Structure 1
């Protein structure tokens, strides 16, 4: 069974600012530039490694005037990336130089963690992981290979109660409980990138309010349609969870459900990947539209926001 996080999708403010931060400051590749299936006047950005391997992809719906979200239960409260353990100091200095809001490094489960925020207030972190220096990474002029991000470490979910969510992680999604620390319960897989989900119990906390800086959903991996169907069968039979029909997202096929704590989960296939409609060398350079919108390309391009560098750095 394929295990781990496939991608995380979040909500952002101005598109150019979002694009600038993730490509220039964090050094990620824009793997795909497309539009929201339900709102084609809005971009859908996919950031990740060279080819957008599962476990590296953070995607955004950027709306220029969206209100800020409010952290609360039923939400992903932090999305964390893996970096080589020796790189935490380098990233701390980079955040200081770039004016990125961040906290002092802290220890969680024996690992050094550097929490920070993106321009919309999204809660992020870098986790120093020993022994990953030799892993392949997308690099830029500003972020050299020895310090570059190596995909996701994992996500933290803020929940009123954690038991039913943990049962789905272990029974359906291929995780197992690996530790407890305070009000955190950690679940992991053998996957490198995207192999950790932390559940933080916060009974009585206010419910989340979606908006800029908040995570829309977390997607978990299925190798193919057959594996996805088996996972859906378990969700329904063992957990009485309602699951949507499969949707074709061009680069993967998806089903969605609300886990018992209220977080929107997706199960996404690894197939066919992001090189299905453009060469790996030029990923993210052209606007790719879902087939149903191609005949409206001129109209869509006319309403999409400007992505010029001047706006990006304004």
Structure 2
């Protein structure tokens, strides 16, 4: 990585869910991710904000959700991030195919997309598009069959050129592969950082709802780098928010030319800022400005729990 690089890869992906309990059972249970933070949506604090990831919630491993009970399903389509892919060891292919079968998760047969990667498409309980990418390129640590973090994301666009221009000129990405209507970009050529732009001009426009992605966040090292990025994207005419304090990172948001909401989030301070690493995700954590409302908020949130032994 270039020491002057302002964007270093994917930080997190945030999606919209229906049932918070079913969401917990799917991601912490079936997929085996760790619930690293249980808080509320800071912008709509009557709903949870659930964060899943590796043991410490490392950037590049974090999948987060706003669960709205009873929300109508959205629709995949252009102008939307439609598939989030997780990285798993190639040797664990049979394990995962059997695990998906065991828990009744419908999935497509493995297909080779680019050399050295086998993709298995599936959906969560809300219909959110997911993939497991089996590969030998990921050097992140984990148990034999464990998800290592993200592998890639797939964004459908009317045309890829303007979004590609934003990624390459402002967000430190380079084009590293292409195949048919798929163009792959990355801030660094390693699993967890791939952004696939797929030209889908004949697709219907995506519609927000449960089972759709709300935004993708990219990692920036610190506040100074974040300020530089904000100046760059506003300089090209994009409407970026002010820097917002999300407690576990600071963020700016803007829409890329195809309509997908992009966030740029700082790598620190991280998820252990308000609870010990050994106990991440065990309690409802609130920022200081919401603590006076804790009793009210807890009364609005349905209790969620999981017996992980049922998913061993």
Q: What band does the TM-score fall into relative to the shorter chain? A: over 0.9
Q: Deviations over 1:123-156 (max 9, x none)?
A: 0001112153x6322xxxxxxx111001100100
**Structure 1 residue 204 displacement after superposition:** 3.5
Q: Does 1:65 align with 2:87?
A: no
Contact 2:74 2:207 in 1 (8 A): yes
Q: Deviations over 1:218-248 (max 9, x none)?
A: 00011001111111222122x3211111110
In structure 2, the partner of 1:119 is 125
> Pick from 203, 216, 220: which aligns with 2:201?
203
TM-score (norm. length: structure 2)? 0.94
Provide the aligned C-alpha RMSD in A. Answer: 1.4
**Structure 1 residue 254 displacement after superposition:** 0.4
SS at the partner of 1:30? strand
SS at the partner of 2:26? helix
Contact 2:81 2:213 in 1 (8 A): yes
Supply the distance in 2 between the matched residues of 1:79 and 1:135 (Cα, whole angstroms). 18
Structure 1: any 5+ residue segments left out of the alignment?
A: 138-144
Structure 2: any 5+ residue segments left out of the alignment?
A: none
TM-score (norm. length: structure 1)? 0.93
**Structure 1 residue 191 displacement after superposition:** 5.8
- Structure 1 pair 61–166 and aligned structure 2 pair: CA distance change class (3 A): same
- Structure 1 pair 257–211 and aligned structure 2 pair: CA distance change class (3 A): same
Q: Does 1:307 align with 2:312?
A: no
Q: Deviations over 1:194-239 (max 9, x none)?
A: 21000000114211110111000000011001111111222122x3
In structure 1, the partner of 2:157 is 159
Number of residues of Structure 1 aligned to a counterpart in Structure 2:
302
**Within-5 A mapping of 1:160-309:** 160-190=158-188, 192-237=190-235, 239-309=236-306
In structure 2, the partner of 1:88 is 93
Supply the distance in 2 between the matched residues of 1:158 and 1:9 (Cα, whole angstroms). 17
SS at the partner of 1:298? helix
Contact 1:88 1:114 in 2 (8 A): no
